[in-house]
Amino acid sequence: LIAEEKVTSVKVGVKEVAEYLGRPRYYGDEELANRTSVPGVATGLAWTSTGGEILFVEATSMLGKKHFQLTGSLGEVMKESAQAALSYVRSKADKLGLDLDFYNNQDIHLHVPAGAQPKDGPSAGVTMATALVSLISGRPVKGNISMTGEITLRGQVLPVGGIKEKVLAAYRAGSTTVILPKKNQADLEEDIPQEVRDKINFIFVENIEEVLEAALTKKKSTTRKKKAS
């Protein structure tokens, strides 16, 4: 038997989508630019069970006694990544053009917003290191850049998982440049749609110095022009 019943048509527009699904979860390009407009903030990429997401890492400092505080519901692996990032930056301060005494009489606080959401994994290592160098050098991170990758104490950038989801998250957020580990290049070529690859500039790196070169704004020159006599 076939049930004969009148079917009412339903029109779904932008207003209804927001009503049924809730507000958008993704950041736009203006949000990325605004959040990274000050030194100490870098944009990372995270994998979740529902897809990729943008992940901001914030660093700040204050007078203190060399304490390193981590907040944002970070798991043990992520905390270790933060420690590795700080140790690398401290050990390479001279090479990175940083004040050798930046950690003396200072406390550093590193925070990953959305504190109610647990976070873990090693892939935020490069983002944490970039946020720290940005803070110490006073050089903001370029607003259109996002990144992912594990960092070692020697500054090597190791491959991570979830590349497809992370790149798509960057694409949705309007990030036009994505920094990835060199060893993840094959994942990009296999998994990411061509239309997405065409709109993003991918930078493949093997060490954190390459990340910093690509991600940080140039240091402003302090040279003064001589007055004509």
119 classed as catalytic: no
Give the bridge partners for 177, in sequence order. Answer: 145, 201
Residue 221 has what pLDDT? Answer: 55
Nearest of 41, 117, 135, 34 to residue 78 by alpha carbon? 117
Report the pLDDT averaged over residues 14-24.
62
Residue 36 banded pLDDT, cuts 50, 70, 90? confident
- Quick check: helix, strand or coil at residue 184? helix
Domains of the chain, first to last: 23-215 (3.30.230.10)
- CA angle 38/44/47 to nearest 5° reads 155
Dist. CA 122–CA 113, nearest whole Å: 17
Q: How does pLDDT run across 44-78, given as a tens digit for each residue?
A: 999 988 889 999 999 999 999 999 999 999 999 99
- Cβ 140 vs Cβ 95: under 8 Å: no
Query: Which candidate in 81, 123, 134, 146 is catalytic?
Result: 123
Q: How does pLDDT run across 80-132, given as a tens digit for each residue?
A: 999 999 999 999 999 999 999 999 999 999 999 987 888 999 999 999 999 99
Residue 23 has what pLDDT? Answer: 56
Residue 58's contacts (CB-CB under 8 Å, 6 or more residues apart) are 40, 41, 110, 111, 112, 113, 131
- Cβ 106 vs Cβ 173: under 8 Å: no
Mean pLDDT of the chain: 88
Residue 189 has what pLDDT? Answer: 81
Query: Which candidate in 119, 142, 164, 166 is catalytic?
Result: 166
Nearest of 44, 216, 45 to residue 134 by alpha carbon? 216
Amino acid of residue 106 = Q
Dist. CA 81–CA 129, nearest whole Å: 9
Which pTM value belongs to this model? 0.84
123 classed as catalytic: yes
Amino acid of residue 208 = I
